[in-house]
Amino acid sequence: MLGLLWLTACLSATDRIAMSVAIIPMAEEFQFTDTTKGSISSLLSFGYALVILPAGFLAGQWSPRLRMASGIALWSLATIGTPLTIVSAASSIRPLLIARTLVGAGESILLPTSTRLLNEWTPVNEKSRDSPTTSKEGNDLYSNDNQLSIKDAPWKEIIQSKGAWAIFLAHSAKNWGNFMASAWTLMFYSEQYGIGVRGSAWLSILPCVAGVVGGIVAGTSADANWATNPLSLGLLAWHIPEQAWAAQLYVAVNIGFLCFNSAGYDAANHKKSGPKWAGLLYSVTSLPAVLIGTGATYLTGRILDASGQDWSLVFGLNALIYVLGAISFIILYDSGKEFE
């Protein structure tokens, strides 16, 4: 199961990152402004936000296998159709924006579904549909013993929970930086150092490796290193290095510690809820966080256009958001389970 979830996440990340590479030659060919680039990059997140809440609610009812398959099918078909929309980008970018919105809508199914699978399979004593002890006579659409109504959801308790607010604020801070990095890092290399697509892609390898390492070691050292992430971007905002490799190191440190969220709000979501509401809690805290990340992607383009491509403003604002998110999580979160 872990192997399949990993492969699915890789497929999702590949479809998501592809546009950050393709946007460089597209912008040159069609003379896109930074605001237009931000619009194209942010629509995937907007599509994600449109579907994340119902996807989280259905995570407690429908078969995870069917949900995952439907999500992969939707974002794959939209990705296949994306090159067709690029052909018309010179006259209108609307078809491209629609395609990217559909990719995001399909990908929104991935994380709530993964959350339910991990919540069910990790504890040995958990028994449910599509879990280690699947009933032979059960159908594949949903479990008759696990029918949930939207009225049954603990809406009031989630809204009043300090822990849920802590998860949301930390998720929002992470999304601000993660969405901006995914959409704009290659463009930063291109605009700041005049590096083409291939060179920018090579410079993005080290930050990706740092992210893998950060996610793996997060469990043992996340609490001790939360300040390193905003520090790296603060230094980058204070002085943009003359050499691209030096900027790459700053970005790598940022991405590496950004992935420490696997031991932060990601793990906190599992601690706060049981299998029934794990997907919903993730979606409820994720929806506004995704909208904030979407806004960050678009706002980055507006800032660059208004400031004459002053990347120091972009990285400085990002560092400030990280600090606020970390402080909020430390103050508000407790590990007690609230939503069974």
Domain tally, the chain: 1
pLDDT of residue 138: 43
The reply to whether 165 falls in a domain is yes
Residue 134 placed within a domain: no
Nearest to 63, CA basis, from 146, 150, 149: 146
| pLDDT number for residue 139 | 42
Closest alpha carbon to 326 in 196, 191, 227, 224:
227
**Would residue 290 count as lying in a domain?**
yes
The reported pLDDT for the residue numbered 306 is 94
Angstrom distance (rounded) from CA 126 to CA 313: 49
pLDDT at 122: 64
Q: Please name the residue that has the structure tokens 């490796």.
A: 209
Judge whether 143 lies within some domain.
Answer: no
Q: Has residue 147 been placed in a domain?
A: no
SS3 305: helix
273 forms bridges with which residues in the sheet? 339
Q: What is the pLDDT of residue 15?
A: 81
* Structure-token pair, residue 166: 């802590």
Domain that holds residue 327: 2-124+155-332
User: What is the mean pLDDT, run by run of 10 residues, along the chain of 340 residues?
Assistant: 86 83 88 91 86 72 81 91 84 90 90 76 53 44 50 83 87 88 88 84 80 72 55 80 88 80 64 71 82 91 93 92 87 79
Residue 145 placed within a domain: no
pLDDT value, residue 44: 86
d(CA 295, CA 208): 23
Is residue 70 situated within a structural domain? yes
How far the first Cα of the chain sits from its last, in Å, is 24
CATH number of 39's domain: 1.20.1250.20
135 falls within a domain: no
